[in-house]
Chain A
Amino acid sequence: MSGTRRSYPLPAVARQMFTAVLLALGGWLPAEARGEASKEYDLKAVLLYHFTQFVEWPAHSFPRPTAPLVIGVLGRDPFGQVLDDVVRQETYARRRIVVERYRRVDLIGNCQILFIDSSESRNFPRVLAVLRGRPVLTVGDFEDFAARGGMIRFLKNPDAKITLGINLAAAKAAGLNISPQLLRVADVMPEARK
């Protein structure tokens, strides 16, 4: 809900008082941001968006032709508003992209991507059981995520960069098609592993 974007005519007095208050509290319109680093979960939110563009879901993944692509977040939500903002105007195959939050495994709804927060790492086997046979791309950043059956893992290196670990076998077993462009920039696990 970041947009009460109606234009609203402000009386001059209000504008001046308001500017004075803002200055007093030390804020003014910020200029364009200069960048060096980014917040960890801002970057991961953008990567999640990229996955929607580099993965293909089978037709039966969606309940209706007009159903949106749902990115689910299971457990504690480390993204907050950022993930919603990043996918707001974007589409996948002319479908809108929306974010849903599931506090517990029992509450997982119909989604195409599921980000599993480390708070739910203990429940991971149950999550996989619930998702078995469903074309859901599982993403996570906790220890051994890909080795335990997760499909794409965010790994933060000591040099503070994120690398992707992809368990291709798990993705294929769920009926998902990962584009070679995504595979190329990631560490793909050998397919012999489950």
Chain B
Amino acid sequence: MDIPQSLRHSAGVALSVLCAGTLPAAATVQSPQKLKQLALEELLQTKVVSVSRTLEDWTTAPAAIGVLTAEEIHRSGAVRLGEALRLAPGLNVARYVGSSYAIGARGFNNASVNKMQVLLDGRCLYTPLFSGVFWEVQDTLLEDLDRIEIVRGPGATLWGADAVNGVINIVSKSARDTQGTLITGGGGSGERAFGSLRHGGQVGDSTYYRAYFKYLDRGDQKLSSGGSAHDGMTQSQGGFRLDSAPAGGNVLTLQGDLYTNAFGIAGRPEAKNEGGNLLGRWTHTFADASALQTQVYYDRGYRNVPLQFREDRETYDLDIQHHREIGDRQDLVIGANYRTSADETGTGGTFIFVPPNRTLNLLSGFVQDQITFEPQHLTLSLGSKFERNDFTGFEIQPSVRVAYLPDARQTLWAGISRAVRSPTRTDADSRFIPVPASNAVFLQGNPDFRSEVLVAYELGYRLRPHPRLLLDVATFYNAYDRLRTLEPSLPAGLPLVVKNERQGETYGAELNATFQPCPWWQLVANYSYLQKDLRFLPGSHDPTAGSLEANDPRHYGSVRSATTLPHGVEFDTVVRFATRLPNPVGPGYVAVDVRLAFHPVKNLEASLVAQNILDPGHPEFASGSVNQPEVPRSIYGQLTWRF
């Protein structure tokens, strides 16, 4: 529709008139105008809802950071973690078989993404088996999440984590903020049946707790040929969290989860998985306002994919961080971490490890100093992460970042960082034997595999031209070296051996615009552009041409609109898109999701979510076979009751 300039201008003015003149109307939430009419005593009797601190907190950070708030997670209608990440700025989320997702940023998306760090309340979610996340089993009670922070690029030192292409940091709310009872339940097609129950309470003056249980039953996807993919999933999970703030500047947290999960695989018995974790954290703030945080966790995971592979893993992690200010200008954080992870993998499957049992020890430390030069409005962050791993020994990951804040509305930032992706058991010890009885090894790990290296150059700019509009652009130029390849061995060619015979550059940009024309309407647009120029070294004869390492769309993104209508009705739409995948070839797609929610009675929310309304199904990933699982059109309803 071609709207003439004059009409567009009229529309713009009319929009601001309409929005400016009306009462803001999230109708279960009082507007500030109404609040002003209350007397002081009445104000102090009004309940408040906390909105997680959003854009303001991150607009001055010298990194490509985006945040999904609790409200945005709720409004997405997602019932599990993998789905909630679809709206995260800059993330490429592709669902393939069952509830497996390829989730990454800035390229190298594949069936076992290994360049992203993923943390849930400080606990690392990826397995050292391949440095990736088994998204089928990682989940939590989404209603109790405070926010999901996404850092694209090697934000490693800044966030004290270990990442090459990015960090996903999932943070749940303190037990203090999740008091009372929450019951949800729903079902439909796609998400067949799901429900959860959480209760939070208080013990004494300063201790709060919550306990939850969650169940999910997901239906099968369809294959492009029409048959069922037989990849449905069921998961039961429960957990608790305890937060205590006894006097003396101490904050204590204890939390844990247990889960059991089963998912189907076409033509085989289903895979069974289970696991649990326990995490404790103690933060002490000293009289001079410096802080010490100590965290310990235990994580156990068991995964059994029949005839394929098995992993039984126990991880212990100890993390200590100290934060202090030095003088007026410097903000210093130093940390140390020790992680030991022991696994038992099976024998007799198609994907095994030699030796089958191994314990990996990782010792790391980091230091970061943030220096402020006030007259120049500059902040300089210098830091480095140091690690010693069992494969390559000592690795160093330094980073320099600078932020320039000319005024309260703008931030210009730049950074240079080095990051490594250290070897995993898959790189060093694995054997892929497609026909176990034959003992013929098709793919073999290499104990001399070296770390992949990235040097990243980043530049970004944020502008808030108006209190209700935020524009954010981040650009990057990544130089990779020693990327993983599969090389034929002499004389027969097989097995293919894991080597580091590829290098190259990727570059691109991520744009984000957040616009709130009225208090009851929010628009968010995300767009990512990626260009890759990767080359094999002269001696390489990788038969896969790198298709297993990186199959990325050149453009992807989303636009979403969230409106809160009278009487508490919420109407949210998301348009998601990705262009085609190059190798293996996969089609691009445009998908539209819609959510409608209302509050029939106080404390009860009823919502209806329809996903992929435009087409009956489309694949988001490409495995190379003609017959692919396709993410289906689905519709489901949910009731949420809080009291």
Q: Which residues of A contact B (CB under 8 A)?
A: 1-8, 10-11, 13-15, 17-18, 21, 25-43, 45-47, 49-50, 54, 76-78, 80-82, 85-86, 101, 103-104, 106, 119, 121-122, 124-126, 143, 156, 158-164, 181-182, 185
A6 to B: closest C-beta gap in Å? 8
Assign chain B's interface to a size class: 35 or more
The residue on A at minimum CB distance from B201 is A158
Q: Which of B17, B34, B40, B466 is the one whose CB lies under 8 Å from A185?
A: B40
Query: Please, which residues of chain A bring their CB within 8 A of the CB of B38?
Result: 46
Q: How far apart sit A38 and B29, CA to CA, in the bound complex (Å)?
A: 5
Contact partners of B307 in chain A: CB under 8 A? none
A85 nearest in chain B by CB position: B32
> Does B48 touch A at the CB level, under 8 Å?
yes
Closest CB-CB distance, B223 to chain A, in whole Å? 35
Closest to A7 in B: B17
Residues from 565 to 589 in B contacting A, C-beta threshold 8 Å: 565-568, 571, 573
In the complex, whether B625 has a CB less than 8 A from a CB of chain A is no
Q: Is B36 close to A, CB under 8 A?
A: yes
16 sampled A-B residue pairs with Cβ under 8 A: A15-B14, A17-B3, A25-B521, A25-B563, A30-B566, A31-B567, A33-B26, A34-B27, A34-B567, A37-B29, A40-B48, A43-B35, A43-B48, A161-B45, A163-B44, A164-B44
Inter-subunit contact A103/B7 (CB<8 Å): no
**8 Å CB contact of A2 from B20, B43, B372:** B20
Cβ contact within 8 Å between B602 and A36: yes
> Within the complex, which residue of A33, A46, A161, A181 is in contact with B23, where a contact is CB–CB below 8 Å?
A33
B10 A5 Cβ-Cβ under 8 A: no
- Is the beta-carbon distance between B47 and A159 smaller than 8 angstroms? yes
B547 at the interface (CB under 8 A from A): no
- List which B172-216 residues lie within 8 A (CB) of chain A: 176, 179, 202, 208
Residues of A within 8 Å of B602, CB to CB, are: 36
Mark B residues whose CB is within 8 Å of A.
Answer: 3, 7, 10-11, 13-32, 34-36, 38, 40-41, 43-51, 53, 56-57, 176, 179, 202, 208, 245, 289, 325, 328, 372, 374, 405, 408, 466-468, 518, 520-521, 561, 563, 565-568, 571, 573, 602
CA distance A33 to B23 in the complex (A): 7
Tell whether A29 pairs with B34 under 8 Å between CB atoms, given A122-B289, A158-B179. Answer: no
B336 to chain A, nearest CB (A): 22
Contacts of B57 in A (CB 8 A): 76, 119
Q: Is the CB of A76 within 8 A of B520?
A: no
Cα(A39)–Cα(B33), bound, Å: 12
A81 closest partner in B (C-beta) = B467
| A10 contacts across to B, CB distance below 8 A | 10, 14
Complex Cα distance, B14 from A8, in Å, reads 7
List, in ascending order, chain A residues with CB within 8 A of B24's CB: 30, 33
B567 contacts across to A, CB distance below 8 A: 31, 34
A76 lies within 8 A of B53 (CB): yes
Question: Please, which residue of chain A has its CB at the minimum distance from the CB of B3?
Answer: A17
Q: Which 9 A-B pairs have the closest CB atoms?
A: A30-B25, A35-B30, A26-B571, A40-B48, A160-B47, A38-B30, A37-B47, A122-B289, A81-B467
**Which chain B residues lie closer than 8 Å to A77 at the CB level?**
56
In the complex, are the beta carbons of A36 and B30 less than 8 A apart? yes
